[in-house]
């Protein structure tokens, strides 16, 4: 039975040799265009390099509804520390073990190379299908600009869309959150430090994690925690600040943050405040966060420090701005409806920057965040840039595609498929906004540690995924003109 797996991995191998980091997809897009034409498709390469390819129905199924298979061609390119890898030039070197497909030293690009590979494999091998379209977008990982720019006409004539960019073969996703980027900035005034000694205060050891998937796990935010520590120190004596930096990405909960301060407080006084703050933090977050450390190290006296009002403005903003879960869903138990993450705070030249990312399955809540961000910025003395707003994908309760695919999955695998809504973004939000009548689901092969050099794909989940999609396409092709999908046995 390894024939399907071998066939899919062969397609995956064709992609792995072409460098394809986000925003640099020309080469892979050109390859896909030529390859899909060879497979008998009519192909459009749009101005951002998205690929839209149509394959006519197999004989006898011309009247069936159009189905879209969709994935993204770009990948996150990261390497192990010290591994020699040039993402502009180097291929991904694949390694197949008994259980996994992995890459040597780098991310694998199964997100979303496997979605693209499975679509290619299906185009080549399917016997019974109605009209089929594959859409491979660019730049899903950084800005979803491929999905944003996709002409809605390619979504309007279809009935069903299967997005192949999820990460568990036995889960079907039926809704996702929208989001927005809020960038706060303030120009800093500088002066000579008044007095005292300089220290680096660092908060670290927090769990961090993805700002969508992990925001409901009761974790602390290192940037916000550090702001609280500095506020507490400021209440005890003179504190001046020379820098404040924390977080690695807007969409990651920051696990560490550090500031350089100048103060006349005695060292044991500072130490006492840090211990008290760490204790408060442990009480507040309980078992979710016990490894926090808040440390102080003497450092060289900085040449300049911030004006006091700049320091206070930043600390106030970081204390007042929402960070963490904002609202739980009323409809779906356990689902975070709205959240916000302060992902980055950074001193850059003469400016301090704070990047925040609210998410919500309600577009209205996102609008509300944008509106209050302007008020918050005005009150705190910051400028704010509001951008990269992405729409939420709302669950379609009457989805026939969900009914069909969960039924097929159960028949083929003997256990039910989980149906869920995620508190993270998918390109489906854009597809749904362009055609709310499109019946959309998102599925995927099981992958682990995506966006890291430890990314790997669970080989045993490839074949069930291929069989699920082929059978769904077969049944959709055979449905009657009223578009009622026959159930098993019919
Ligand atoms: Zn992806």
List the CATH number of the domain containing 279: 3.30.70.360
Looking at 439-483, list the stretches that DSSP marks H as alpha helix, in order from N- to C-terminal side. 462-477
Supply the pLDDT for residue 1. 54
Distance 280 CA to ligand 1 centre (A): 38
- pLDDT (tens, 9 = 90+) of the chain, 490 residues, equals 589 999 999 999 999 999 999 999 999 999 999 999 999 999 999 999 999 999 999 999 999 999 999 999 999 999 998 999 999 999 999 999 999 999 999 999 999 999 999 999 999 999 999 999 999 999 999 889 999 999 999 999 999 999 999 999 999 999 999 999 999 999 999 999 987 999 999 999 999 988 998 999 999 999 999 999 999 999 999 999 999 999 988 999 999 999 999 999 999 999 999 999 999 999 999 988 989 999 999 999 999 999 999 999 999 999 999 999 999 999 889 999 999 999 999 999 999 999 999 999 999 999 999 999 999 999 999 999 999 999 999 999 999 999 999 999 999 999 999 999 999 999 999 999 999 999 999 999 999 999 889 999 999 999 999 999 999 999 999 985 444 554 444 3
Let me know if 178 is exposed, middle or buried by CB neighbors in 10 A (0-12, 13-18, 19+): buried
User: Does residue 410 lie within any of the structural domains?
Assistant: yes
Domain that holds residue 456: 2-177+393-477
In a domain, 489, yes or no: no
486 in any annotated domain: no
> Are 399 and 380 in a shared domain?
no
Q: Ligand 1 centroid to 46 CA: how many Å?
A: 20
∠ CA 28-34-38, nearest 5°, is 135
Q: Say how many Å lie between the CA of residue 461 and the centre of ligand 1.
A: 17
Examine the fold and report which residue of 365, 390, 415 is the final residue of a domain before the chain moves on: 390
In the reported structure, the alpha carbon of residue 353 is separated from the centroid of ligand 1 by a whole-number distance in angstroms of 28
Q: How far is the CA of 165 from the centre of ligand 1 (A)?
A: 5
Whether residues 384 and 436 share a domain: the answer is: no
- In this structure, what token pair is assigned to residue 213? 């998937």
The Å distance, Cα 386 to ligand 1 centre, comes to 24
Contacts of 331 (CB under 8 A, 6+ apart): none
Asked if 19 contacts 74 with a C-beta cutoff of 8 angstroms, the reply is no
* Shared domain check, 258 and 169: no
Is the C-alpha dihedral spanning 459, 461, 462, 464 positive or negative? positive
Give 287's DSSP letter: G
CA of 65 to the centre of ligand 1 (A): 26
Distance 111 CA to ligand 1 centre (A): 5
Instruction: Report how far ligand 1's centroid is from the alpha carbon of 112 (Å).
Output: 5
Between the CA of 161 and the centroid of ligand 1 the distance, in Å, is 16
CB atoms within 10 A of CB 160: 24
CATH code of 101's domain: 3.40.630.10
Q: What angle do CA 459, 207, 354 make, to 5 degrees?
A: 110
CA of 50 to the centre of ligand 1 (A): 15
Q: Are residues 38 and 78 in the same domain?
A: yes
Ligand 1 centre and the CA of 141: distance in Å? 6
Compute the distance from residue 139 Cα to the ligand 1 centre, in Å: 10
CA-based angle 404:426:456, to the nearest 5?
85
> Separation of 273 CA from ligand 1 center, angstroms?
43
- Name residue 339's beta-bridge partners: 325, 359
CA distances in angstroms from 255 to 133, 210, 224, 293, listed in the order given: 42, 11, 11, 11
Residues 261 and 323 in one domain: yes
The three-class DSSP label of residue 231 is helix
pTM equals 0.89
Task: Give 447 Cα–ligand 1 centroid separation in angstroms.
Answer: 11
Judgement on whether residues 379 and 404 belong to the same structural domain of the protein: no
If you measure from the C-alpha of residue 189 to the centroid of ligand 1, how many angstroms do you get, rounded to a whole number?
42
């Amino acid at each position: 039975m390894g024939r399907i797996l071998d066939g899919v991995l062969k397609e995956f191998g064709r992609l792995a040799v072409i460098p394809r980091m986000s925003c640099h997809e020309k080469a892979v897009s050109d390859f896909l265009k030529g390859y899909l034409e060879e497979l008998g498709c009519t192909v459009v390469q749009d101005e951002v390099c998205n690929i839209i390819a149509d394959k006519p129905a197999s004989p006898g199924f011309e009247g069936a509804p159009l189905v879209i298979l969709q994935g993204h061609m770009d990948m996150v390119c990261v390497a192990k520390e010290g591994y020699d890898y040039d993402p502009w030039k180097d291929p991904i070197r694949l390694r197949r073990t008994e259980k996994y497909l992995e890459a040597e030293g780098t991310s694998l690009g199964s997100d979303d190379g496997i979605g693209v590979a499975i679509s290619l494999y299906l185009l080549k091998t399917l016997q019974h299908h109605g009209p089929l379209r594959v859409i491979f977008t660019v730049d899903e990982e950084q800005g979803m600009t491929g999905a944003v720019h996709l002409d809605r006409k390619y979504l309007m004539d279809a009935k069903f869309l299967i997005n192949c960019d999820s990460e568990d073969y036995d889960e079907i996703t039926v809704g996702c959150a929208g989001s927005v980027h809020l960038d706060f900035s303030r120009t800093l005034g500088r002066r000579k430090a008044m007095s005292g000694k300089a220290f680096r205060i660092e908060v670290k050891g927090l769990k961090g994690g993805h700002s969508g998937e992990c925001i409901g796990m009761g974790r602390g935010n290192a940037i916000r925690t550090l702001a609280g520590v500095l506020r507490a120190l400021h209440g005890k004596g003179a504190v001046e600040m020379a820098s404040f930096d924390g977080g690695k990405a807007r969409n990651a909960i920051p696990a560490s943050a550090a500031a350089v301060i100048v103060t006349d407080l005695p060292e044991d006084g500072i130490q006492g405040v840090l211990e008290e703050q760490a204790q408060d933090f442990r009480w507040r977050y309980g078992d979710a966060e016990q490894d926090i450390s808040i440390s102080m190290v003497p450092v060289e006296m900085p040449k300049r420090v911030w004006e006091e009002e700049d320091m206070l403005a930043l600390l106030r903003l970081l204390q007042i701005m929402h960070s963490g879960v904002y609202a739980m869903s009323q409809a779906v138990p356990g689902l975070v409806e709205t959240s916000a993450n302060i992902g980055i705070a950074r001193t850059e030249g003469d400016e301090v920057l704070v990047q925040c990312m609210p998410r919500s399955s309600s577009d209205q809540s996102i609008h509300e965040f944008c509106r209050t961000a302007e008020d918050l910025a005005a009150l705190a003395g910051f400028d704010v840039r509001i951008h990269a707003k992405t729409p939420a994908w709302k669950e379609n309760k009457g989805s026939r595609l969900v009914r069909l695919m969960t039924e097929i999955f159960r028949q083929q695998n003997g256990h039910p498929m989980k149906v869920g809504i995620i508190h993270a973004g998918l390109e489906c939000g854009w597809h749904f906004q362009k055609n709310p009548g499109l019946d959309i689901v998102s599925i995927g092969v099981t992958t682990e540690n995506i966006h890291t050099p430890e990314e790997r794909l669970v080989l045993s989940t490839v074949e069930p995924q291929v069989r699920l999609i082929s059978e769904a396409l077969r049944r959709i092709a055979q449905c009657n003109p009223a578009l009622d999908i026959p159930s098993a046995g019919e």
